[in-house]
Structure 1
């Protein structure tokens, strides 16, 4: 039995929840409200000194942090992570894209608008976050124009990782109407067997 220490409203935690639900894998969920500072407690920092959710903990006490690393470990040996080396590398390419070119803008804009008061200084950075987030969405739109999913062979970890914050991008101020291919992809992801909504 594994335990996931995560925050339901976090897209990074939702990725792990979504894959576990697809796999119907038994697990324990320990809610850690990062917005309330619970990731800075001594107990949590003992699990992950980086102070971020999610963290996966095995029964032997070993832990794994970073949402996309957790996705790869959980998906290994399943249809959600390609066995073919080239397709697996393509999946990893999109996982890296999500963390470097997508999440820092789409997710951070959502965080600011959802959790910080309107007079908070970080609101001044929203225009740049929106601009950079739209650049990432444009890359996704071009890729999905003639594809059902991000990697040849079908739905997998790349889609799960990118769905997590894209489907709530509107909370960060992103209008998805100009991205019809992304809209169709979002619908395909929601139609996957075992799909579950974000619970936070």
Structure 2
């Protein structure tokens, strides 16, 4: 398999993380923002939706979208709960991550981290994203205050999915992570999983 991955992106990282936790080998093609590699991958038809990550299967089929890739890779593993309700609950967190969490937590980090986006980081927008992000992180903290993992009693794709942007929310996004002790404990549990690799590993 070949993974078209943006090294700095949480969406790409969550796929690399799951691959590492599963002990699966993959050829990685780095396609960072504003690089020739990204332009070439698009021109050659490797990015159906115009963005990373994309997993190219051994037979040449292309699978875009990080959470779809997680579901494909997780099939038949313990990262997808056997219980139907827990499985649906896992998916609800994954949908929430893309629909709510990523559009705030990841966006605020991107406006600060990527030079070509800093012009969009107006004080008003950054303040609004900070307030919204803290509210979203509080939802996670409340949920995790009485459990170790987001779904059921074991790590699932929901945890891998939300770890991608949450673990850099303080460093890159400027969120006050000291306010979320349950989230911090959960972050530490993910980082302690066998096979774990960090964003820059």
* Length-normalised TM-score, structure 2: 0.92
**Equivalent-residue separation in structure 1 for 2:117 and 2:99 (angstroms):** 26
Aligned residue number for residue 42 of structure 2: 44
CA shift in 2, pair 1:104/1:35, >3 Å: farther
Mapping of 1:142-153 within 5 angstroms? 142-153=142-153
User: 1:131 Cα shift?
Assistant: 1.5
User: 1:188 Cα shift?
Assistant: 0.8
Mapping of 1:10-159 within 5 angstroms? 10-36=9-35, 38-39=37-38, 41=39, 43-44=41-42, 46-116=45-115, 120-124=119-123, 125-159=125-159
Give the RMSD, CA atoms, in angstroms.
Answer: 1.7
User: 1:119 Cα shift?
Assistant: 6.2
User: 1:13 Cα shift?
Assistant: 0.5
User: 1:42 Cα shift?
Assistant: 5.6
Equivalent residue pairs, number:
198
User: 1:116 Cα shift?
Assistant: 2.6
Is 1:178 aligned with 2:179?
Answer: yes
User: 1:175 Cα shift?
Assistant: 1.2
**Contact 1:77–1:83 (CA under 8 A) maintained in structure 2:** no
**Equivalent-residue separation in structure 1 for 2:161 and 2:49 (angstroms):** 20
Aligned residue number for residue 195 of structure 1: 196
CA shift in 2, pair 1:63/1:119, >3 Å: closer
User: 1:118 Cα shift?
Assistant: 8.8
CA shift in 2, pair 1:150/1:37, >3 Å: farther
* Length-normalised TM-score, structure 1: 0.93
SS across alignment from 2:190: helix
**Contact 2:86–2:152 (CA under 8 A) maintained in structure 1:** yes
SS across alignment from 1:34: coil
**Equivalent-residue separation in structure 2 for 1:97 and 1:120 (angstroms):** 28
Structure 1 unaligned residues grouped into runs of 5+: none
